[in-house]
Structure 1
Amino acid sequence: MENTPTNKELYATDQWVRPFLKKYKGLLYLALFLGFLTFFSAGALMFNSGYLISRAASLPENILMIYIPIVLTRAFGISRPVFRYIERLVSHNWVLKMTSDLRLKLYLVLEKDAIFFKSKYQTGDILGLLSEDINHLQNLYLRTIFPTIIAWLLYIFIIIGLGFFSWWFGLCMLLMLGVVVFLLPLISVLVNGARQEKQKVSKNELYKTLTDNILGVSDWVFSQRGEEFVHAYEKDEAKLRELDEQIKRFNRFRDFILQTAFGVITVAVLAWSSVRFPGNHGGAANWIAAFALTVFPLIDAFAPLPDAAQEANIYKDSIKRLNDLPEVTQKNQEAVLIPANTEIRIRELSFSYDQTAKNVLENLTLNIQPKEKLAILGRSGSGKSTLASLIRGDLRPKEGSITLGGIPTADFDDQITKAIGVIHQAPYLFRTTIINNVRLGREEATEEEVWQVLASVGLKEMIQGLPDGLQTMVDEAGLRFSGGERHRLALARILLQDTPIVLLDEPTTGLDPITEQQLLDTFFDTLADKTIIWITHHLQGVHMMDRVIFIEDGKLEMSGTPQELLAENQHYQQLYAIDRGQNKN
């Protein structure tokens, strides 16, 4: 069973929260100081107001003798909202800077290990990280750290201040306020802390359940079990609502105790001040109202402490999840890698997605010459797509090497887009103009160059016939275009990108045979002067390739020209017959 780290161990090794305490420490200290001044001004305002009212009421002519308290009342009355406003600006500015950096760091982690991430986490986990965890770390500062530190500062200030008037009453307030500052938060942690941690886990589970089932909603519908999914989800949601209600019930009871405690403190201050400053009118008796009224604005400073304490446990879970993510390494943007040529050399390549898992590719050796047309065949799960990711540099080999012009492909990082272009199974068109969609290949391309590539892929006349031509808006995902037209637009992007190597990742899947053949003819005609690596699962169009290889269980099973394999390789002959719908025994 995995050992759960203690709070001390977790925060000692934390790389997601602690660094920002130092990075923006100036704003942090300013926010805390302004928060203290806000409540100090509120208390001082009520203190002066109480003294002023008492002094003015004792003898009407005293109004001429209380000029200083009047000025102080004005000053604290103005400073309280001003400090509060500035404190909110500074604290939220600090938190927004921090969460902005957290999100950027999280996105860099997701981008760096996107392929591995999907193999370890579900979509719901990613949503939980983006929504729940970052949001909880934001609340860690706004609802826990800031209010707690400010309340502790006020607590110390009040006890010391009262100690100057009466040491024994200072000790009494140390105990009475200690109930609010320490005891009630502790009880909240013990009772509601575990519930809130369970609440957060339940929310994350709902994220995973909902996203998993929404992505597969068609299967639920086709199997006529849609209502079953809805009822199961509503049942889980009902459990979460019941948990929410338990938390709210305890919070209402605790808040009642909290307000009762403040009532007792107010009565105690009133009783002490009456004894400490005796008199009927004027003199020392003017201080009674001053001390008693000071209690009320301080309630706002101490009331959030139980809520802040009970939420501390859920922050621990968020920090642990974020610290379990891989480290973000800074990319070297200075070195520009220029391959000596476009030859791809694969030497004794082995790869697995997990150190303990079986290799997806095993001891693969292969050379791909410049301008060669290579087809990679294999059944689903044979390792074709993994090999494509290795060629693109998205993955690093577990053993062996894969180089482009003598440089490991994984070292190119983003620069690989200058050498290798990719057309996927389902090219995506964005909701913008046609010209903007095509210019994704090269943003600075002129309108004339865009028309040239559209003519090369056979779309020029069709787009000229549209009312707005290149300025025609594409609907979301490009659904107004057929599958073949979307692939031709993707090919136009590649032609603008003008990379020496083009990787076709099963681009004709789902198309009818006639459209498929027309699209393949367009691909190979327009890309005749480039290296083509075509990943496919069947043999239509393979006769146009220079070489065909077949991967089975991660190993290279056959290699040769289409003509040689069809004449000499029995396995290829069987595949060819099956692909043509013939029975071959």
Structure 2
Amino acid sequence: MNFFKTFKHDTWVKPYIKQYKGLLITVLLLGLVTSICASALMFTSGYTIDKAATHPVNILLIYVPILLTRAFGIGRPTFKYIERLKSHNWVLRVTSNLRTRLYTTLESDAAFLNEHHKTGDIMGLLSEDISHLQNLYLRTVFPTVISYLLTIIGSLVLGIYNPAFGFFVFLLLAIEVLIVPLASVAIESARRERQKQIKADLYTNLTDNILGADDWIISGRKDDFKNLSAKNISELNTSKNKSKSFRRNRDLFLQLIFAGIAICFIIFTNLTMTDGQEQANFVSAVVLCLFPLSETFIPVSQGYEEWPEYRDSILRLNTLKPVENNLPKQVELDPADFSDIEINNIDFEYDADSPILIKNFSQEIKKGQKVALLGPSGIGKTTILQLILGDLTPQKGTIKVNGHNVQEIQEHREQIFSVLNQKPFLFNTSIMNNVRLGNENKSDSEVKSALEKVGLKNLVESLPDKYETLVGENGSNFSGGEQERLALARILLQDAPVVLLDEPTVGLDPITENDLLTTFFSVLHDKTIIWVTHHLQGIDHVDHVIFMNSEEIEMQGSPHELYQTNKHFNELYKMDQGL
């Protein structure tokens, strides 16, 4: 019931079985032929030995069995090799589609990925669930279907010769390929579920702990950090050892069942196939042909046992839904034609139960204008940037770019907007590759020019590998200020008319922060800048300041005017400058 219920509304497994059904059928037939060749090889070998032992009058009497022995001996590894190629080709095609689909699904919700998913869950999706679906085919679907086909074909063949014996063998094989596998699922299901839960917890805990390793060290709790996951790891190892013990005992039982089937074949052939010398030559051949089939029947229980893991992966993947694309008809906007951004009386709240975060906010930002958005944490400054980008949609009011609703330019918004946030992500590849992410069509000389403009030329050229220097994981080989400059070089290559700065200097020392801000506004002098900041350092670089509180815009205007006319701004400025 759980099996059919799992696939009732599945959209991650069934579609690809239908899409590649031709190749799937080929794989199953090749697997079936491989097993038949293995069995036939033992049959012809046994018959040839028996026939040769009776001193045939003419060697030609065993010539055909000898040829068949050679043919099946060659056919078995050949078909096995082709079956492996085809099955892995099938699986790789499917998993390639699955990984692409998973990326597309997560990418469609990229702006809020961390809000909807834990980092450990994302790692589990990428490293566990797709691999589980791959194993579902290789270790469960293929072996099970082939073993069932062999059970039916073998029982029918025996049934034609002796119906009672054919039915008896069918019952014994049913124990091998159905009863014991189902019992394995029942016994191991809870244990496997617990193992999967422990793994998921380890992913989440280890991710949290590694990202927060500095805090553990600073707090002097190094031993606690090392031992934090020890209990889970110990429990996981204990559970896995129990599973291994169960599998050893189960496989021994299956071998004993198979040995019982072999004994039954010996008894049956001696009772029914010894009326004459010609029949007697088939006795050992019939019994021998049975043994290679154990390699097909016994792994079925292992495949069944792993089904709970596959089921959980299928269910988890089916809960992932791409964000629906409800965009209006898109328009092409030439970056060179950018003129203004109009924010008209917008209200925004994250859900019906939360308070309104932004209320009746309006602003007009002209081409080339430099705007600073200030205010306490939590009042929606970054949210305004997300609304301007189009990641969020206001419940009331509109945001327009050149008179077009921002939702109408989403397909190519990277031509209009570039973003520099608090912690730009740098990949573990060369400096050139990291900067060229802004525009992959730019030449090496243009990348170097961008690095020179942001003040990194001397540093980069002093390094042993120069522009091919590895940046390190998340920029670990460079300081915070250098990372921001690398990200700024990306923006220069992207060359969008509007740049959104989301507190890019937070956490830096005052000297580095001041140098960076000077660089930002210098190299971006011809761009429209909307800068979210939490204090007034570098405020002289902007044309217009908007100071928000939890209810409204408290003050706005040019920094010079506000300094002269607004007492609160004057006090904040002096406090921030240490005056």
Q: TM-score, normalised by structure 2?
A: 0.92
Q: 1:580 corresponds to which letter in structure 2?
A: Q
**What are the residue-to-residue correspondences of 1:480-491 with 2, within 5 Å?**
482-491=479-488
- Residue segments in structure 1 that go unaligned for 5+ positions in a row: none
Within 2, Cα distance between the matches of 1:321 and 1:131?
13
In the TM superposition, residue 215 of structure 1 has moved relative to its aligned partner by: 1.0
1:517 matched to 2:517? The reply is no
Match of 1:391 in 2: 388
Contact map agreement 1:108 1:328 (CA 8 A) in 2: no
1:282 matched to 2:277? The reply is yes
Contact map agreement 1:344 1:403 (CA 8 A) in 2: yes
Within 2, Cα distance between the matches of 1:34 and 1:295?
19
In the TM superposition, residue 62 of structure 1 has moved relative to its aligned partner by: 5.2
In the TM superposition, residue 455 of structure 1 has moved relative to its aligned partner by: 5.0
1:241–1:398 CA distance, 2 compared to 1 (3 A): farther
**What are the residue-to-residue correspondences of 1:219-298 with 2, within 5 Å?**
219-279=215-275, 282-298=277-293
Q: Percent identity?
A: 46
Root-mean-square deviation (CA, aligned residues, Å) is 2.7
Contact map agreement 1:435 1:470 (CA 8 A) in 2: no
Q: 1:102 corresponds to which letter in structure 2?
A: L
In the TM superposition, residue 365 of structure 1 has moved relative to its aligned partner by: 2.6
Tell me which of 299, 305, 317 is aligned to 1:322. 317
Match of 1:22 in 2: 18
Within 1, Cα distance between the matches of 2:178 and 2:307?
14
Tell me which of 103, 106, 109 is aligned to 2:105. 109
Match of 2:419 in 1: 422
1:72–1:499 CA distance, 2 compared to 1 (3 A): same
1:407–1:40 CA distance, 2 compared to 1 (3 A): farther
1:119 matched to 2:102? The reply is no
Within 2, Cα distance between the matches of 1:448 and 1:154?
65
Match of 2:31 in 1: 35
Q: Deviations over 1:277-326 (max 9, x none)?
A: 114x7211111111100110011110011111121122111111111111
Tell me which of 340, 343, 363 is aligned to 1:343. 340
1:136–1:485 CA distance, 2 compared to 1 (3 A): closer
Tell me which of 89, 92, 98 is aligned to 2:88. 92
Contact map agreement 2:369 2:543 (CA 8 A) in 1: yes
Partner SS for 1:16: coil
1:380 matched to 2:377? The reply is yes
1:74 matched to 2:70? The reply is yes
Within 2, Cα distance between the matches of 1:491 and 1:143?
49
Contact map agreement 2:136 2:307 (CA 8 A) in 1: yes
1:61 matched to 2:77? The reply is no
Contact map agreement 2:109 2:322 (CA 8 A) in 1: no
Within 1, Cα distance between the matches of 2:125 and 2:137?
18
Match of 2:211 in 1: 215
Q: How many residues are paired up?
A: 575
1:532 matched to 2:523? The reply is no
1:299 matched to 2:276? The reply is no
Within 2, Cα distance between the matches of 1:373 and 1:388?
14
Q: Deviations over 1:10-37 (max 9, x none)?
A: 3111111111101111111111110111
Q: Deviations over 1:501-552 (max 9, x none)?
A: 1112222223333333333233223322221111111101213322111233
Within 1, Cα distance between the matches of 2:203 and 2:429?
31
Q: 2:301 corresponds to which letter in structure 1?
A: P
Q: 2:417 corresponds to which letter in structure 1?
A: I
Match of 1:505 in 2: 502
In the TM superposition, residue 413 of structure 1 has moved relative to its aligned partner by: 3.6
Within 2, Cα distance between the matches of 1:173 and 1:150?
17
Q: Deviations over 1:349-406 (max 9, x none)?
A: 3444556444443443322222111001122322222222222233344544323223
Within 1, Cα distance between the matches of 2:523 and 2:3?
61
Q: Which moved more, 1:344-353 or 1:256-265?
A: 344-353
Contact map agreement 2:461 2:467 (CA 8 A) in 1: no
Within 2, Cα distance between the matches of 1:52 and 1:469?
70
Q: Which moved more, 1:65-74 or 1:335-344?
A: 335-344
Tell me which of 163, 177, 181 is aligned to 2:177. 181
1:494 matched to 2:491? The reply is yes
Within 1, Cα distance between the matches of 2:70 and 2:124?
48
Partner SS for 2:228: helix
Match of 1:129 in 2: 125
Contact map agreement 1:116 1:353 (CA 8 A) in 2: no
Within 1, Cα distance between the matches of 2:448 and 2:311?
56
In the TM superposition, residue 69 of structure 1 has moved relative to its aligned partner by: 1.6
Tell me which of 540, 549, 552 is aligned to 1:543. 540
Contact map agreement 1:343 1:370 (CA 8 A) in 2: yes
Within 2, Cα distance between the matches of 1:463 and 1:187?
66
Within 1, Cα distance between the matches of 2:87 and 2:252?
29
Q: Deviations over 1:58-102 (max 9, x none)?
A: 224353212222221111111111111111111111111111111
Q: Deviations over 1:124-183 (max 9, x none)?
A: 101111111111111111111111110110000011000111011011112111111211
Within 1, Cα distance between the matches of 2:3 and 2:396?
39
Contact map agreement 2:333 2:409 (CA 8 A) in 1: no
Partner SS for 1:35: helix
Within 2, Cα distance between the matches of 1:429 and 1:327?
26
Contact map agreement 2:39 2:292 (CA 8 A) in 1: yes
1:240–1:446 CA distance, 2 compared to 1 (3 A): closer
Q: Which moved more, 1:194-203 or 1:118-127?
A: 194-203
1:85–1:436 CA distance, 2 compared to 1 (3 A): closer
Q: TM-score, normalised by structure 1?
A: 0.91
Contact map agreement 1:349 1:362 (CA 8 A) in 2: yes
Q: Deviations over 1:166-223 (max 9, x none)?
A: 0110111121111112111111111012211221122111111111111111222222
Q: 1:302 corresponds to which letter in structure 2?
A: F
Within 1, Cα distance between the matches of 2:297 and 2:485?
65
Q: Which moved more, 1:157-166 or 1:340-349?
A: 340-349
Q: 1:231 corresponds to which letter in structure 2?
A: N
Q: Which moved more, 1:537-546 or 1:155-164?
A: 537-546
Partner SS for 2:556: strand
Contact map agreement 1:440 1:493 (CA 8 A) in 2: yes
Q: Which moved more, 1:573-582 or 1:87-96?
A: 573-582
1:556–1:101 CA distance, 2 compared to 1 (3 A): farther
Contact map agreement 2:368 2:527 (CA 8 A) in 1: yes
Match of 2:358 in 1: 361
1:399–1:581 CA distance, 2 compared to 1 (3 A): same
Within 2, Cα distance between the matches of 1:254 and 1:384?
62
Contact map agreement 1:124 1:204 (CA 8 A) in 2: yes
1:578 matched to 2:565? The reply is no
Within 2, Cα distance between the matches of 1:552 and 1:347?
18
Within 2, Cα distance between the matches of 1:472 and 1:59?
78
Partner SS for 1:104: helix
